[in-house]
Structure 1
């Protein structure tokens, strides 16, 4: 495993992080025992960055069980404050910060996360959505700074709701936050244009998520692939003809596999980690086999610069699959 300094906080974190959304059961059912084991397995393999959220069902509680079993060095724990509004309100269209995070809610959510995780301090607390209009109101940042002063959290970050990467640029330059989490993958390399360089210049950690495009960039998707009703991917992959997605994936396979990567997943991980401005990239590793495959990709030879630029320029396919969740 390879490691980076986490922005101004300075912690050494694994370049590949454990994305704990999979502990929620949204990618298929797994027993609680197996989910705890998946966390421990990744920690044993050198992963020391874990990202979860109050909004991920039982994820924080299950992660807390794993942390109590873990005998090694404490990992870096990042979580997110769940917005107050029902469902996905504010995730597709901006809402007032007082609706999403009313006064007192940041503390209430943080203290619940602390209890479920079984820790005294959360290394990084993120807002689970952010809109730049909120910068006109200062109470929410004041509340986070107070939690930091009390030692309940160490760092402050934001998680962008979808592919509108540039909404965070002003906040990144303000010096008030420690990290930004955003969608970044082969099909959507837009953070490379502005957000990643801005974060790098301002020593703000960049957490890349959806690096495998909810699994699509592993090549698993077939015409007859079916998902259970509660599976997150059921709506994600059903807003356009499936063969269009498969054609894009096959273009990548034909052009770069196996010359530059053993698998499509490895190619996707190498692409996201190529730029030094990416601090860590999180992936669902709730199955130990996934963890082993993804971790192996970090340790192999990086992509040549010309191959990286080829993929960035000629395989981008920017679209917002989350629209089926926000607007339909």
Structure 2
């Protein structure tokens, strides 16, 4: 394997991973159709570049994503891949999200299916996708800890939870990372969540770094999305909200052009400056997008450029919540 990107340790107790990781959700229809051939090629390109952290969820495409990743890594040495898997989100046959199940018995059940679909004997980082309001986090983490003892899981992570839940989980078992949205226009973790993670030696795997494509060249004012596309239901991509947000992106684009880089690369580079304990997870679906992503690692931003970037995209000027109201209500991190 040709190593082209540096690696960092995930939290104080986790594995070493590439400085950026690959998020696979978009390969299973969340942003419209995706080519399986190109998706597999993108996984291989990420691994070849040194990005060994591959993030999936058992509910992405109702199992499709795990099977796809399983096929993509089947011929690779198992120790070349750090598999991060989210579980617990329940979906109906129409694709609707209908709740979260963090009961200990459900944890063991979800894991069994994930191991089968991925074709592996262990998951590297296992995490509940959303806090189950009916199950104490101690019970869920305790169940995963038993799976760690049994050898089916290597490390435990968290997803979209707030400081109190982070502390309660860490009191049960070491937590290697918190997966949570973080970008120029989603900066809610900065006040309390990131400091809590740093206090406890917990890394952050940041998703939504490009804000579902908003911080890129793929969305323009008036863009419409298919009903199956996540963005068709995201407030930030609707009507006047989209127009207002695009004005922020255009301001960022002026800085990107002056540097000779893409808006997406500039947005990734900004997140990379926020600390070595933050590992961006990028949802590339093509090898070309992955190559663009890797290019962000070569960008060094000066203090003046960072100030200009943050002035161009003030967090308090972003229009619309990051999820629809029903999904926002499920986020412990937003309470």
TM range (shorter): 0.7 to 0.9
The answer (yes or no) to whether the contact 1:261–1:267 under 8 Å persists in 2 is no
Q: Is the counterpart of residue 286 in structure 1 residue 292 in structure 2?
A: no
Task: Name the counterpart of 2:333.
Answer: none
Query: With structure 1 as the length reference, what TM-score do the two structures score?
Result: 0.86
Is 1:158 the counterpart of 2:183 in the alignment?
Answer: no
* Matched pairs, number: 314
Aligned to 1:95: none
Residue by residue over 1:179-229, the C-alpha shift from the partner in whole angstroms, topping out at 9 and shown as x without a partner, is 111110001222222222322222111110100000000032223423222
CA contact (8 A) 1:52 1:78 kept: yes
Give the whole-Å Cα distance in 2 for the aligned partners of 1:275 and 1:62. Answer: 32
Q: For the structure 1 residues 261 and 274, does the alpha-carbon distance in structure 2 shift closer, same or farther, using more than 3 Å as the test? A: farther
State the Cα deviation string for residues 128-183 of structure 1 (Å, max 9, x = none).
00268854x632222111101001001111111xxx75564534763732211111
For the 8 Å contact 1:6–1:12, the answer to whether it is kept is yes
Distance 1:172 1:252, change over 3 A: farther
Q: TM-score, normalised by structure 2?
A: 0.84
Task: From the superposition, tell whether residues 103 and 85 of structure 1 become closer, same or farther in structure 2 (CA, over 3 Å).
Answer: farther
**1:232-285 CA-partner distances (Å, limit 9, x unpaired):** 22222543413212111112223x223346111011101111122533111111
Match of 1:181 among 147, 163, 179: 179
Greater length-normalized contact order (CA 8 Å, ≥ 6 residues apart)? 1
Q: Structure 1 residues 302 and 284 mapped into 2: Cα distance closer, same or farther (>3 Å)?
A: same
Aligned-residue RMSD, C-alpha: 2.6
- Mapped to 2, the partners of 1:170 and 1:133 lie a distance apart of 18
Match of 2:39 in 1: 35
Q: CA deviation at 1:287?
A: 0.8
**Structure 2 SS opposite 1:280:** strand
- The question of 1:52 aligning with 2:56 is answered yes
Structure 1 match to 2:16:
12
Structure 2, unaligned stretches of length 5 or more? 330-335
Residue of structure 1 equivalent to 2:6: 2
Matched ranges for 1:61-210 at <5 A: 61-70=67-76, 73-84=79-90, 87-90=96-99, 100-130=101-131, 135=136, 138-160=138-160, 166=163, 168-171=165-168, 174=171, 176=173, 177-210=175-208
Q: Deviation above 6 Å: which 4+ runs of structure 1?
A: none
8 Å CA contact 1:181–1:209 kept in 2: the answer is yes
**Equivalent residue, structure 2, for 1:253:** 253
- After superposition, the C-alpha distances for 1:78-113 in whole angstroms (9 at most, x for unaligned) are 0011234754345xxxxxxxx622341000001111
Q: What is the DSSP-based 3-state SS (H/G/I as helix, E as strand, rest coil) of the residue aligned with 2:60?
A: coil
Q: Distance in 1 between the 2:328 and 2:11 partners?
A: 35
Distance 1:225 1:74 in 2: 39
CA contact (8 A) 2:142 2:172 kept: no
